[in-house]
Amino acid sequence: MKCQKCDRAATFHITDLVDGQASEVHLCEQCAKAFLTPTPEEAADVMPEISGFLAQHLAVGETADELARLDQRACPVCGITFLQFRKQGRLGCPHDYIFFEKELEPLLLNIHDQTQHIGKSPKRCPRGADQQTQLIRMRREMKEAVAAEEYERASELRDQIREIEASVRPADP
């Protein structure tokens, strides 16, 4: 299939919804980049819409101040900010579900129609989930201690991390 904008082979097949109507576009890589990358003028028009959409779906209200304030909140265990979560789409640790509970609940309801996990759990369910959370926190603290040149504190944390890791690891046969 050929690109609809030039004569190269179409490698991107994009379905676009406009006013509820689906339209397909077949483009080569270069034309797809141009199609998917808004111009600065278009981006300026779209960004307020995106922040309003996110604010509405995160039940935050539509003010940029509230969204900016929320983006600065960081998990005390792993240090991930809500802005990082919004950009990556991944949380940093299990504690984030508790820390960002108010903001995540509408999102989870919208996506899964549930706020509690219903289904299978891994067979090797980590019995030491609390220990894993503690390890994440301690590694972050160790990284911060090194950055602040508090090497004694960093070495203490390193030793504590090694102890916990040794207790979590199964013994070799």
Q: Report how far apart the first and last C-alpha atoms of the chain are (Å, whole number).
A: 57
Tell which wins on pLDDT, 19 or 167.
167
Among all chains, which residue has been given the structure tokens 């030491």?
Answer: 128
Identify the domain containing residue 92 by its residue range. Answer: 47-112
In the prediction, which pLDDT does 147 show? 93
In the prediction, which pLDDT does 61 show? 44
In the prediction, which pLDDT does 126 show? 56
Q: CA-CA-CA-CA torsion for 134, 136, 140, 143, nearest 10 degrees?
A: 110
Q: Which of 112, 139, 159 is the last residue of a domain?
A: 112
Are residues 56 and 6 part of one domain? no
Are residues 107 and 139 part of one domain? no
Give the SS3 label for residue 105: helix
Q: Is the entire prediction scored with pTM above 0.75?
A: no
pLDDT exceeds 50 at position 60: no
Are residues 14 and 59 part of one domain? no
Are residues 55 and 31 part of one domain? no
DSSP for residue 3: -
How many domains is the chain built from?
A: 3
Are residues 81 and 26 part of one domain? no
Tell which wins on pLDDT, 149 or 12.
149
| Residue 14 near residue 40, CB atoms below 8 Å | no
Are residues 52 and 77 part of one domain? yes
Tell which wins on pLDDT, 16 or 157.
157
Arithmetic mean of pLDDT over the chain: 75
